[in-house]
Every structure is written in C-alpha cells, then in structure tokens.
Chains A and B, each alone.
Chain A
Amino acid sequence: MPSEKFLEGIYYVQGRDFVDAGVVSSDIKRALKEKGIPESVIRRVAVITFEAEVNIISYADQGTIQLFVEPGAVTVEAVDIGQGIPDIELALQEGYSTADDSIREMGFGAGMGLANIRKYSDVFTLTSEPGNGTHLTSVVKLDGK
C-alpha cells in the first residue's frame, strides 16, 4: 500500500524574534502528542524543530516549518528566505558558528544545531542558495534507531 504523507501543520517563524524561540517546537510537540506518536519520536522531532527554528530566527529573514505525518514517519521541513549558507559542509561541523551575542544569550550559537539535527534524523538533507535561503528536511522514522 502506498504511504501517504499528510501535512499536519505549517508554522511561521519570524527572523530575529528571539523572545518566541522554541514556541514552534512546543506547538509541534503538542500536536504530535495528540496524534499518539511514540514519545521517543516526539522528543527527537521536538529537538530537530527547536534547532531549525532557532536557526531561522538567528540567521534568516523569515521562514516556515512544515510538519508531515505518515504511517511510518514524521517529516519536518524548514524553509527560509535569507542569507543562506555558503558552505554547508562547514556549517555542519560541530563548533562552527557565526552567531552573535544575542544568539548566545539565548543559550544557542555554539555551532551544535545542525549537527544535532543530523544526529537525531533518520534522513537528513540540507540545501541552500546563498543570498536566497535555506531548505532543511528531516525525517524521523517511527521504528527508527
């Protein structure tokens, strides 16, 4: 049987809106709880969303986070309009960061975000057009590791 991917929600993220960082992650967590998704999967998705959300707030002008649920997996797609990432390999390295103090004060900006997202994803893709924006897709499988 072909599996269908249902759009569960679209969440808007405003660049530089530090006060609300983490709100989307909390909302997505609540939505997944209502759907009866296993708690360990929800935690991974919540972490992935949190880091993706903080990155849009920190480095982009604006973006959306879309949540898809299908029988065997949860998919997070974070798309933003902004400066983009010139060197993806470099950005993925633990410890690499261009964060300023406003980001550090929030408890982020140590260069762990993208590495964390990749670590908790079963499928991870990151593409970017410098000057235009960034597109991150993360799939967490229900029977994943």
Chain B
Amino acid sequence: MRLREIRDKLDARVIVGEDRLDLDVSTAFGADLMSDVLAFARSGCLLITGLSNPQAVRTAYALDIKAILVCRGKSISDKFIEIARELNIPVLWTRLIMFEVCGRLYQEGLIGCIRQASEIEDKQIA
C-alpha cells in the first residue's frame, strides 16, 4: 500500500515526506512502547504509534522502519519533525485512534510484520 493511499484512507496529514508518497509498505506494527517496537518490529514496516516524541523516530531509524504514522492526534514537536527529516523517515499524522487505524489498513490488505511475539526468537530483525 502506498503512503498516498494510507493518507487518504486515514484522512491523514503528511508531516514529513511529501515527496515520498509513492513509498510502498505491506506490513505494520502498532505500539506506544518503544521497547516493544525494538523487541518485536521488523524492518520495512509501517510504525503506527501514539508516542510522538523523538525517540519514536530514532527507534524507527534503528530498525529501518519505512514510515511512521502518529495516531490519536498527538501533537508532534518541531524536534520530532527535524529528526525525521534528518533521518529521512516519512511521517503521517491522523486524529484516528490506533484501533481505527489498524482496522482500516488491515481491510486494505496491510498485515502485521509478525503475527505473534515468539516469531522473532531467532534474533533476526529481517
């Protein structure tokens, strides 16, 4: 699913990466806890989170996560935007709650980057 379509499905605003809306993602991971993202998310996914501080961007960078979607209308600081630009990670923003975001995207064919936590015991962050 292209970022452009994700934006449209979620009435989202593009905060960073207006020029990268053709970027394609097929998997996602949703969490507010960055330790869980670091433990379970896979590279190349879309990160759906209600955490809108710079650590979310740095976590995404650590894992080669393709893009970040901030949900629940959380306010995004200038610092967040600055770091996302610097690390070249597109950021979308929506007022929708996480459940609504996940439901809509799943309906469009997006799937979880893992299905259950044990899948990543092999240490690979694919």
Contacts and interface: CB of A to CB of B under 8 A. Distances in A.
Interface of A: 19, 21-23, 25-26, 29, 39-40, 43-44, 46-47, 49-51, 105-110, 112-113, 115-116, 119-120, 122, 144-145
A51 B54 contact: no
A110 B34 CA distance: 9
Given A46-B61, A145-B122, A145-B124, 10 more contacts: A22-B59, A39-B64, A47-B125, A50-B58, A108-B34, A108-B55, A110-B33, A116-B35, A120-B125, A122-B123
Main secondary structure of the interface of A (DSSP, over half): helix
Contacts of A145: 122-124
23 contacts: A19-B54, A22-B62, A25-B61, A26-B58, A29-B61, A39-B43, A40-B126, A43-B62, A46-B62, A47-B62, A47-B125, A51-B35, A106-B53, A107-B33, A107-B55, A107-B56, A112-B35, A112-B36, A116-B38, A144-B123, A145-B122, A145-B123, A145-B124
B23 interface: no
Interface in B25-78: 32-39, 43, 51, 53-56, 58-59, 61-64
Nearest to B126: A40
B80 to A, nearest CB: 11
Contact of A119 (B32, B79, B123): B123
B35 A107 contact: yes
Contact of B34 (A39, A49, A106, A120): A106
A41 B54 CA distance: 23
A43 B59 CA distance: 10
Interface of B: 32-39, 43, 51, 53-56, 58-59, 61-64, 79, 87, 121-126
A143 B87 CA distance: 28
A46 B53 contact: no
A109 B62 CA distance: 18
Residue of A43, A144, A145 contacting most chain B CB atoms (<10 Å): A43
